[in-house]
Amino acid sequence: MLSPKYVKLYRIKREKYSYLAGPKPLIAPATAIRSRTRSPACVITLALLLYTSMYGLADTGSPTSGNTDSEFTLWIGNMTEARKSHESAVVRLALDKSRDHYGPYKLTLNTAPFSRPRAIRNLRDGEIAQIVTAPELTYRMASDEQPLITIPIPLLKGLLGSRVAIVRRERAAQFAEVHSVKQLQQFNAGLGFDWLDRDFFRDAGLPFTSGADIDQLFNMLVHGRFDYLPLGSIEAAPTLAASGHAAQLTIVDDLLIHYPLPVYVQVSHNRPELAARLRFGLERARRDGSLNALFEQHYGAFRRTAKNAYTIELHKHEHPAFSERRTSP
């Protein structure tokens, strides 16, 4: 028989090197289980614990962790808050409407601002985002292979191409008298460096000055660098209110500058199954009226107040993607 001294030494060494044997088992030995399972409730509880430890619990509202096939990111970085709210709701609606056919999903919104070249790189491979809502030509490339798949259901009924003029308050009366392209040519517009609007203004002979982003454009307008800032009628009022320049600037209520600029949901070219799902959901939402109801919820009030404005039509770009060739929701 070992002396107490050696027994103590053996216990110390066993505890010191116990990590070599791996972690302690989560399930108690069978003898301990038998001694503790005296009632049916204990047996049921133990069975549930064993099942959970082996398989985990299912989440019917979101995809299983690590299932990237049902985890999507929508990029809404380079748009106004009004459009972010509506177009993110449209994508969620399409995913909800397709849930019974394609299963649960998890949608993340990416609001980081990217330049057009960087956005094309990020969207093409779907590494940062796989979904974007934009006019079709925004992310087109000169090559035959395009970075995005376009879902042919327009979202805004042409309202993004219905532009109102934001001007300095002391110039509002002058713009109220503008009723033709020739009269509009006397004024200088402010446009973003990568806005598709530049093609329409250039084709119509309308002068413009470029700015980096919407904040810079507002500052330039306030300081007289150009005469008016054309923004989509659906986004002008909330964007002006958020700019901090509402005291110096105003919207010309009696003038619309219109050109076709339909907005579509677009998907990374290497995610055709996602494009199919979104198209399925959007078509279902269009048929049951929920897509139109969502549009009216966000923009219906403006459509009722803009009917009396005088509209100047700009020449359509020759590229067929600029035409409203797809069915409205």
Q: What is the mean pLDDT of the chain?
A: 79
312 or 54, greater pLDDT:
312
Whether the pLDDT of residue 322 is over 70: the answer is no
Whether the pLDDT of residue 264 is over 90: the answer is yes
Mean pLDDT across 16-24: 41
Mean pLDDT across 17-41: 42
Mean pLDDT across 17-46: 43
Range of 39-43, 138-142, 252-256, 302-306 with top mean pLDDT: 252-256
**pLDDT at residue 305, rounded to an integer:** 57
Residue 73 lies in a domain: yes
Does 242 share its domain with 290?
no
Range of the domain at 98: 68-158+262-305
Does 119 share its domain with 237?
no
In sequence order, the β-bridge partners of residue 249 are 168
Does 110 share its domain with 233?
no
**pLDDT at residue 43, rounded to an integer:** 44
**pLDDT at residue 310, rounded to an integer:** 82
pLDDT class for 92, splitting at 50, 70, 90? very high
Query: What DSSP state is assigned to residue 257?
Result: E
pLDDT digits (tens, 9 = 90+) for 122-132: 888 888 899 99
Mean pLDDT across 227-255: 92
Does 84 share its domain with 112?
yes
End position of a domain, from candidates 230, 258, 286: 258
**pLDDT at residue 136, rounded to an integer:** 83
Q: Model pTM?
A: 0.71
**Phi and psi at residue 6, in whole multiples of 5°?**
-70, -35
Residue 288 lies in a domain: yes
Whether the pLDDT of residue 142 is over 80: the answer is no
End position of a domain, from candidates 225, 258, 291: 258
pLDDT digits (tens, 9 = 90+) for 179-223: 999 999 999 999 998 888 999 999 999 999 999 888 999 999 999
User: CA 23 → CA 20, 49, 305, distances in Å?
Assistant: 9, 19, 70
Q: Rounded to an integer, what distance in angstroms lies between the CA atom of residue 31 and that of residue 79?
A: 65
Q: Rounded to an integer, what distance in angstroms lies between the CA atom of residue 195 and that of residue 35?
A: 74
Does 170 share its domain with 246?
yes
Residue 147 lies in a domain: yes
Does 87 share its domain with 205?
no
Q: Rounded to an integer, what distance in angstroms lies between the CA atom of residue 129 and that of residue 188?
A: 36
Q: Please identify which residue in the block is written with the tokens 């290497």.
A: 270
> What does the block give as tokens for 118?
């960087």
Q: Rounded to an integer, what distance in angstroms lies between the CA atom of residue 77 and that of residue 119?
A: 10
Residue 21 lies in a domain: no
Whether the pLDDT of residue 291 is over 90: the answer is yes
Q: Residue 196's closest CA among 113, 117, 138, 260?
A: 138
pLDDT class for 253, splitting at 50, 70, 90? confident
**pLDDT at residue 265, rounded to an integer:** 97
Does 144 share its domain with 170?
no
Does 135 share its domain with 269?
yes
98 or 33, greater pLDDT:
98
> What does the block give as tokens for 20?
């070599």
b/e code 233-261 from CB counts within 10 Å (16+ = b):
bbbbbebbeebebeeebbbbeebbbbbbb
Whether the pLDDT of residue 306 is over 70: the answer is no
Residue 276 lies in a domain: yes
Whether the pLDDT of residue 62 is over 60: the answer is no
Does 138 share its domain with 278?
yes
Whether the pLDDT of residue 18 is over 80: the answer is no
Does 288 share its domain with 153?
yes
Residue 202 lies in a domain: yes
**pLDDT at residue 68, rounded to an integer:** 56
Q: CB-hemisphere CA count at 13 Å for 70?
A: 19
**pLDDT at residue 27, rounded to an integer:** 39
CATH number of residue 244's parent domain: 3.40.190.10
Collapse the DSSP code of 322 into the 3-class scheme (helix H, G, I; strand E, B; otherwise coil) and give the result. Answer: helix
Residue 23 lies in a domain: no
pLDDT class for 89, splitting at 50, 70, 90? very high
Does 103 share its domain with 238?
no
Q: Rounded to an integer, what distance in angstroms lies between the CA atom of residue 302 and that of residue 166?
A: 16
Mean pLDDT across 157-168: 92
Residue 140 lies in a domain: yes
Does 228 share its domain with 164?
yes
Whether residue 261 contacts residue 196, with contact meaning beta carbons closer than 8 Å, is answered with yes
**pLDDT at residue 143, rounded to an integer:** 59
Query: What DSSP state is assigned to residue 314?
Result: P
Query: What DSSP state is assigned to residue 315?
Result: P
How many domains does the chain fold into? 2
Mean pLDDT across 16-39: 42
End position of a domain, from candidates 234, 258, 282: 258
Q: Rounded to an integer, what distance in angstroms lies between the CA atom of residue 159 and that of residue 259?
A: 9
- C-alpha angle 302-306-310 in degrees, rounded to nearest 5: 160
Q: Rounded to an integer, what distance in angstroms lies between the CA atom of residue 183 and that of residue 170?
A: 18
Whether residue 282 contacts residue 228, with contact meaning beta carbons closer than 8 Å, is answered with no
Mean pLDDT across 10-35: 42
DSSP characters over 158-178: TGGGEEEEEEEGGGHHHHHT-
